[in-house]
A = this chain, B = another copy of it.
Amino acid sequence: MELSGPPYLGAAYYPEDWPLDQIDDDIALMLEAGMNVMRVGEFAWSRMEPREGEYDFEWLHLVIEKLGQAGIPTILGTPTCTPPAWLAERYPEILVMSDQGRRAGHGGRRHACPNSPVYREHCARIVTRMAEEFGHDPRVIGWQIDNELFPAGPRGCCCPVCHAKFQEAMRERFGTIEALNEAWGTHLWSQAYQDFRQLPIPRTDVRHHPSLLTAWMCFQSDSYIEFAHAQAEILHRLATQPVGTDMMPTGALNYHQMHRKLDVVQFNHYNSPENLGQAAFWMDLCRPIKEAPFWNTETSTCWNGGVTANGYKPSGFCRANSWLPIALGAEANLYWLWRAHWSGQELMHGSVISSCGRPLHIFGEVREVARGFRAAADFLNGTRVARPKVALHFSGFAWWLFEHQPMVNGFRYLDQLLDGFYRPLLQAQIGVDVIDPAASLEPYTVVCSPFLPALDEAGLRERLLPWLEAGGTWIAGPLTDIRTLDATKYRHAPYGSLEEWAGVTCRYQIPGEPQSFALRWRDRSISGGSVWYDGLEPHHAEAVATYADGPLKGLAGVTCTPVGKGQLLLLGTLPRGEEVREMVLGAGGYRAAEATPNLLVVPREGPGGRGLIVLDLGNQAGMLTLPQPATDLLTGRRHEGRIEVAPYGVMVLRY
């Protein structure tokens, strides 16, 4: 049988924990469900190398072969997330050390140090062996490196190897300890170091310097990325298939940096009915990283779970949740997991079939999704998400900086970005690319950079002015351009460049807690700011909104400054979503369609035609006005004008 191609609907499959003679039954059910890809191997190190240096891939060849015979290709995971017992026993120095100096132990996962040379060597060996075995197998269509890489615990790994490597990294960055002291301002509290060897691990039980904390956590992020890249180098050398690593929705690892040496963006999410919008955010982040479509490597069918089942999800959720990544640019959606575990730490997690091999109640929804993928396959494969005009910056550096220096009580970077910017645009059907500071600005008409403290990331400061002068609209602030890459303030002004660029003086700064202040807009309307308040005196700028009360009364809260053919909108505070949306629309953002806020509407275009994918994210009916007549490829029905979308409904509309 011929191997299936995209769009892929699949699941994680763990044959290592079941009798091999069960594979045929599993495959029969997979075909019944409409699955056309399986993800295998990610935790199976102890089955691949049961004793040091003894390898057994026979079972895995069998699985891949049987799947392949049924037309189902395999995505192979490297099993390095779960070192076998013999490895932890013989080389305890590979185990992650907590900031309290305690080594982790065998029994969970993600407990090995990414910088441990011994661990690295064992990882290289098993990955090499896997690549030799499967690197040219046509039934294997891709590689997943490790699983959900992430700094463990509050400080990542704090072992002596990591400690020394961090000190060395700081020596490379600063050259002399005096330079570090100057950059971090360590003369306060007599924190100044005489030698890089004095740089401590920033333990949780010591009140440490935010510059140290930020540098340490970025180093941790770098370490995991370096760890993944080491595997990627082997796979690129020995295997032909594309390589990625399945990542969780978090800013704690830098996605952009990670994917510089990888081929396919892989993404795991377990968002709940309440925050499907957050899943959309991450997919809008995954899509622009690479030109190739991304893979949604994990999501749940009906509930998440470890030793409890974490919340039943209502009917229809599986449908909308499965289509969401496809709509936003993925070519694969895989469930976690195919068959529920019969033991272990995750035995209560939702799946496609139960541990006794029976279809779950969502089996029908899965089949419906599979049928839909097939019905719309040509359109999906022949089109891409139309490139948005609007970009929104998201920074891993900002994540760590705000984590250890939140500036205002209750400030959480991701939540503020979602609530303040992303959701207002999503709910107005305004397409957005969520981009890293290192990404090019060229494709965009409007770039939003709220809460982007360090403009010196990836040379963004230098790239902004030319882009502005060429006609871009930059919406900056609040809390933007206020920190160096060392997590310190500027000393000449509250901002690095914003006063100069915007032609304003920031007179006063006030945290937005516990009190908020009102803004009066140019149309005389009044609405509250939030989060933070910079009071601006415009010199070469226009006041777009002015404080109506409080100590900033009469100062501008939002200004607009022409820059060449472009303009800079400076936010001294975070306005309401309505105003953010109006600014974006006024500057060239556009709505994909008029629709109720619960609907996600994604324009697609390409050789396969043009059209829209429409999804309800809120388990409620929605209304959409079609810009032109279109056919729903899932039903074959023709639609025009104002149409209704059912709760958790999906439409693939080709004009």
Contacts and interface: CB of A to CB of B under 8 A. Distances in A.
A247 to B, nearest CB: 19
A43 to B, nearest CB: 5
B343 A206 contact: no
Contacts of A211: 343-344
Contact of A108 (B185, B208, B314): B208
A345 B209 contact: yes
Given A43-B188, A209-B343, 7 more contacts: A16-B188, A43-B190, A104-B205, A186-B343, A211-B343, A348-B407, A361-B510
Task: Please tell me how many copies of the chain the complex holds.
Answer: 3
Contacts of A206: 104-105, 107-108, 111
Contacts of A493: 356
A354 B82 CA distance: 50
Contact of A308 (B100, B189, B408): B408
18 contacts: A16-B187, A17-B185, A43-B190, A50-B192, A50-B194, A82-B190, A100-B102, A105-B206, A107-B200, A107-B207, A107-B208, A108-B207, A209-B343, A307-B404, A308-B407, A308-B511, A309-B511, A312-B515
Interface string A481-515: 00000111111111000000000000111111111
Interface in A401-446: 404-409, 411
A342 B185 contact: yes
Nearest to A516: B312
Interface string A297-327: 0000011001111111011000000000000
A189 B358 contact: no
Contact of A407 (B14, B307, B315, B507): B307
A360 B511 CA distance: 12
B309 A407 contact: yes
A648 to B, nearest CB: 14
Nearest to A499: B356
Interface in A55-85: 79, 82-85
Interface string A589-624: 000000000000000000000000000000000000
A109 B344 contact: no
Nearest to A356: B493
A631 interface: no
Given A192-B85, A206-B105, A490-B356, A406 B307 contact: yes
A125 interface: no
A150 interface: no
A341 interface: yes
A212 interface: yes
A185 B404 contact: no
A187 B47 contact: yes
A347 interface: yes
A294 interface: no
A312 B514 contact: yes
A221 B79 CA distance: 36
Interface in A344-391: 344-348, 354-356, 358, 360-362
A198 to B, nearest CB: 5
A206 B109 CA distance: 9
Nearest to A341: B188
**Which of A83, A408, A411 has the largest number of chain B CB atoms within 10 A?**
A408
A51 interface: yes
Given A206-B108, A212-B107, A191 B408 contact: no
A409 B308 contact: yes
- Chain A interface size, under 10 / 10 to 19 / 20 to 34 / 35 or more: 35 or more
A103 to B, nearest CB: 10
Nearest to A181: B46
Nearest to A340: B489
A193 interface: yes
A342 B107 contact: no
A44 B190 contact: yes
A484 B517 CA distance: 55
A554 interface: no
A85 B355 contact: no
Contacts of A314: 515
B312 A489 contact: no
A551 interface: yes
A184 interface: yes
A215 B51 CA distance: 26
Interface in A171-208: 184-194, 198, 200-203, 205-208
A106 B195 CA distance: 13
Contacts of A310: 409
A609 to B, nearest CB: 36
A342 B515 contact: no
A180 to B, nearest CB: 12
Contacts of A514: 311-312
Contacts of A360: 508
Contacts of A189: 43, 82, 108-109, 344-345
Nearest to A185: B343
Given A105-B203, A208-B107, A355-B491, A344 B185 contact: yes
Contact of A84 (B188, B190, B494): B190
A335 interface: no
Given A190-B82, A190-B84, A210-B345, A358 B507 contact: yes
